[in-house]
Amino acid sequence: MKFLPAAISAGSLVLAAVLTGCTPVADVEAAPDAANPDCAPVMVAVPEDLAGVQQRETSSQATAAWGNPSQIILRCGVPVPGPTTDACATVNGVDWVLREEGSLWTATTYGRDPAVEVLFDTNQVASSTVLVELENAVSRIEQTRQCLSTKDVELPG
């Protein structure tokens, strides 16, 4: 298991609110740094279909949603995770800090500024598929740090 930083906002509440809606436009709250110009290349590169569900329009800048009701929510410009003991996984060269609340997962990129957050329900979509298929988009933000395991860190003597 790898350990690293995580800064999770009220993302689970955003996902829950969107999952219950039936509107054509997904009402997604923008992240605090959504206007960061480095989010633009990410948003242009997100796939139209993700984990087998179709993208839909959202109400905020630097956000994306897939499914109706939304099964996957993406927000660019969330707070960059700092050191944490939360699980960190590397998927196709992208490090993700993972938080689970039952079947609801929040995955936040690690070592990239701005950070990208993805919220999804593992009962509806496979986590491995979501993270693999987002690699092309999120890798447009340069990685400056990487996940480390406690085995990778040398402790003072």
Q: Which tens digits make up the pLDDT trace of 20-72?
A: 444 489 999 999 999 999 999 999 999 999 999 999 999 999 999 999 999 99
> pLDDT tens-digit profile of 133-145?
999 999 999 999 9
Residue 105 lies inside a defined structural domain of this protein: yes
65: in domain:
yes
Q: Is residue 157 included in any domain, yes or no? A: no
Residue 155 falls within a domain, yes or no?
Answer: no
**Is residue 14, in this structure, part of any structural domain at all?**
yes
pLDDT tens, 3-12?
333 333 434 3
Residue 154 lies in a domain: no
Whether 152 is covered by a domain: the verdict is no
- Asked, for residue 101, whether it belongs to a domain, the answer is yes
Identify the domain containing residue 139 by its residue range: 2-147
Give 34-38's long-range contacts (Cβ < 8 A, gap of 24+). Answer: 34/60, 34/61, 34/62, 34/63, 34/75, 34/76, 34/77, 35/61, 35/62, 35/77, 36/62, 36/76, 36/77, 36/114, 38/113, 38/114, 38/140, 38/141
Considering its fold, how many domains does the chain have in total?
1
Instruction: Give pLDDT, residue 66.
Output: 97
